[in-house]
Chain A
Amino acid sequence: MAIIKNILITGGAGYIGSHIAEILVTNNKKIFIIDNLSTGFKKLINKKASFYNLNILTTNKLKKIITENKIDTVIHLAASLSIGVGEKYPKIYYKNNVMGTESLLKACKNSLVKNFIFSSTAAIYKDGQKIVNENSKIGPKSVYGKTKLKAEKKIIINCKKNKINFGILRYFNVCGASDSGKIGLISKGDHLFKNISSAVMTKKPLIKINGNDYNTFDGTTIRDYIHVSDLADIHFKVLQKISKLNKSITLNCGYGKGLSVKQVVNEFKKQIKKKIKINFLPRRSGDMEMIIADNKKLKKFINWKPKYNSIKRIVKSCIDWEKKFI
């Protein structure tokens, strides 16, 4: 078992990356961040990290950073991540997510890198399965999901060849913000918690919900949400474990519990004590009805006990973070 010392995080200026950096720094790891700030933000970059404003397609520069800093562990999060934009510009998504991953893997070849963690997604599963485990049917609907699946495959092949332990983490819906109050989600997009949080800061909150005619108990879609601090902690624990056991693994990262869009909105309503107007829109193409993680494998592998898995706590952390913007 090799000691984990110098960790490179691609996409470390992003929402999830900044939370992982925070945990690693607390645990006295030396971290290096590569981010081209395409979705990340300078203010989310951990003060103790060495930062490179760089695109991961530049293999030679990556190689230099990995060699010079004796990187032993890579956490690869850098990606284009909007489902909508991906549908419109598939080539760009393919280049950034698949070729970007290839470039990084190439840079890790013949280096000291021993562990490789990758951020994958629940979007690679075939629709209509409701509860999925790691062996459930694969069949991404979106371009984004397809590029992540391709990247997974490249990682498995390359890491096996180069004797690198890999941990592929399939994220479910990530939400919430760190208790430190320093980091959280900045970009608005198709993120439910972010959109509600910023809406409820306005005088007359209005929320648009896509579809209330799904075959679920209240008609809105159901997702498995996971607090970003729990997710970041999973990265650290999985990393230690794969390094210790010299093993590679693919894991679902979710609480194994579903919440409907309406349930989430209601929790916000309760906490901010304001009326929230809801506009129901037609279904959005590409949306799954319901997807929940079977997380038995994760629980067993790292003996995982989530800390932030109450909707109350998640919503509160979202509101606290959002208040910083007004």
Chain B
Amino acid sequence: MKKKIFITGSSGFIGFNLSKFLLEDDHVIHGYDGITDYYDIKMKHDRNKILKSFKKFSFTEGMLENEFLLEKTITNFKPDVIIHLAAQAGVRYSLEKPKIYLSSNINGTLNIIEQANKIKVSHLIVASSSSVYGANKKIPFHETDKTQTQMSIYAATKKSTESIAHSYSSIWKLPITMLRFFTVYGPWGRPDMALFKFTNSIINNKPIDIYNNGEMYRDFTYIDDIVKGVVSLILVPPTNEESIDKGDSLSPVAPFRIVNIGNSNKVKLLDFIDAIESCLEKKAIRNYMPMQKGDVEATWANTDLLKKLTGYSPKTNIKEGIKSFIDWYLSYYKK
């Protein structure tokens, strides 16, 4: 059945790719995005232009903090489902400007939850982050693991939204799924992310900074896999009458669930760089640096729950994923 879906952050990396996928599947989408200048807004406008070419897409430019506009837009559109992806992103920037993160990620998310509750959507999906696992030593990360050691303001605000969402879900019985994304990369990726920065620097003969001397591991997850994971979860809203399987993160007191979406592969940063170099057929100038404040050494998702709920598990390997990104990068910048 075709749905009416309200997507925040629709001009962003994940929001754009998700909106496009759903539009191609003939759903009706209303996008909401603040088009902030955290990175090149031209890229956001270019993404938006593509979405606007679909008849079933409509768009409102606005901030999450603008309660009045948000309420008006959502009341008018009357979505079945809300997917809330808008956020102030970036681990490193959160050390410089923590207050932006509180306002956008915590207050902004609260506003979305209130609206979702007011119109009683069938499912509210909210983006969280693998960074909430913080300094956890036990890998891979399970949704049911304790998450009490966030290492950055960004991670802390994401953890907070999980708590706030849970409380709303338990009080008002609002079905909410929180998604913990693991290092997403791919076409239309953000310029502040590793793959983009590395590609750009290698092409322009500039050095790349490699933190913790390359002793970093990430569960790099290709954007299409993220999109497919989100889409397949739309149809699986949590209900608190289900019996809880072992390993399910479903709350005992609320229709609330947390789901990892990752490739469930631990890739060493040096291997990731080697794959970029092989694809570009060019070597980087490497500048090895110590560990950055706020960063974690390893992330690695267990995705059994996603598989159990939807039958889907991500499978794009870094070689294919990097190639798709670089093909996009070269055509976008016409090098």
A residues engaging B (CB < 8 A)? 36-39, 42, 53-55, 57-58, 61, 80, 85, 89, 92, 95-96, 187
**Chain B interface residue count: which class?**
10 to 19
Q: Which of B268, B273, B283, B284 has the most CB of A within 10 A?
A: B283
What sequence of 0s and 1s flags, for each residue 187-223 of chain B, a beta carbon within 8 Å of any chain A beta carbon? 0000000000000000000010010011100000000
* Interface pair B288/A57, CB less than 8 Å apart: yes
B residues engaging A (CB < 8 A)? 207, 210, 213-215, 268, 270-271, 273-274, 277, 283-288
* Interface pair B271/A55, CB less than 8 Å apart: no
* Interface pair B288/A42, CB less than 8 Å apart: no
Report Cα–Cα, A161/B286, bound state, in Å.
32
- Decide yes or no: A39 and B288 within 8 Å by CB, A53-B268, A55-B213 being known contacts: no
Closest to A56 in B: B213
Report Cα–Cα, A96/B207, bound state, in Å.
13
Report Cα–Cα, A80/B288, bound state, in Å.
12
* Interface pair B213/A58, CB less than 8 Å apart: yes
In the bound complex, residues from chain A placing their C-beta under 8 Å from that of B210 are 55
Q: What is the CB-to-nearest-CB distance from B208 to chain A, in angstroms, rounded to a whole number? A: 10
Report Cα–Cα, A304/B236, bound state, in Å.
75
> What are the 3 tightest A-B residue pairs by CB atom distance, in nearest-first order?
A37-B274, A57-B213, A55-B214
* Interface pair A54/B285, CB less than 8 Å apart: no
Q: What is the CB-to-nearest-CB distance from A134 to chain B, in angstroms, rounded to a whole number? A: 32
In the bound complex, residues from chain A placing their C-beta under 8 Å from that of B285 are 85, 89, 92
User: Quick one: which of B213, B215, B277 contacts A37, CB cutoff 8 A?
Assistant: B277
In the bound complex, residues from chain A placing their C-beta under 8 Å from that of B273 are 37
Report Cα–Cα, A36/B269, bound state, in Å.
10
Closest to A57 in B: B213
* Interface pair B207/A38, CB less than 8 Å apart: no
Report Cα–Cα, A38/B207, bound state, in Å.
12
Closest to A38 in B: B286
- 21 A-B pairs with CB atoms under 8 Å apart are A36-B270, A38-B284, A38-B286, A39-B283, A53-B270, A54-B214, A54-B270, A55-B210, A55-B213, A55-B214, A55-B215, A55-B288, A57-B213, A57-B288, A89-B207, A89-B285, A92-B207, A92-B286, A95-B287, A95-B288, A96-B288
Known: A55-B215, A89-B207. 16 other contacts (CB 8 A): A36-B270, A36-B286, A37-B270, A38-B283, A38-B286, A42-B274, A53-B274, A54-B214, A55-B210, A57-B288, A61-B215, A85-B285, A89-B287, A92-B207, A95-B287, A96-B286
Question: Mostly helix, strand, loop or mixed at chain A's interface?
Answer: loop
Q: What is the CB-to-nearest-CB distance from A68 to chain B, in angstroms, rounded to a whole number? A: 17
In the bound complex, residues from chain A placing their C-beta under 8 Å from that of B213 are 55, 57-58
Report Cα–Cα, A175/B213, bound state, in Å.
31
In the bound complex, residues from chain B placing their C-beta under 8 Å from that of A37 are 270, 273-274, 277
Q: What is the CB-to-nearest-CB distance from A16 to chain B, in angstroms, rounded to a whole number? A: 16
In the bound complex, residues from chain A placing their C-beta under 8 Å from that of B277 are 37
Closest to B215 in A: A58
In the bound complex, residues from chain B placing their C-beta under 8 Å from that of A61 are 215
Q: What is the CB-to-nearest-CB distance from B54 to chain A, in angstroms, rounded to a whole number? A: 43
Q: What is the CB-to-nearest-CB distance from B167 to chain A, in angstroms, rounded to a whole number? A: 44
Q: What is the CB-to-nearest-CB distance from B16 to chain A, in angstroms, rounded to a whole number? A: 33
Q: What is the CB-to-nearest-CB distance from B298 to chain A, in angstroms, rounded to a whole number? A: 14
Report Cα–Cα, A92/B210, bound state, in Å.
12
Report Cα–Cα, A96/B286, bound state, in Å.
9
* Interface pair A53/B286, CB less than 8 Å apart: no
Q: What is the CB-to-nearest-CB distance from A90 to chain B, in angstroms, rounded to a whole number? A: 12
Q: What is the CB-to-nearest-CB distance from B209 to chain A, in angstroms, rounded to a whole number? A: 10
Closest to B271 in A: A53
Report Cα–Cα, A173/B270, bound state, in Å.
29
Report Cα–Cα, A89/B287, bound state, in Å.
9
In the bound complex, residues from chain B placing their C-beta under 8 Å from that of A57 are 213, 288
In the bound complex, residues from chain B placing their C-beta under 8 Å from that of A92 are 207, 285-287
* Interface pair B283/A55, CB less than 8 Å apart: no
Q: Which of B207, B210, B284, B286 has the most CB of A within 10 A?
A: B286
Q: What is the CB-to-nearest-CB distance from B328 to chain A, in angstroms, rounded to a whole number? A: 24
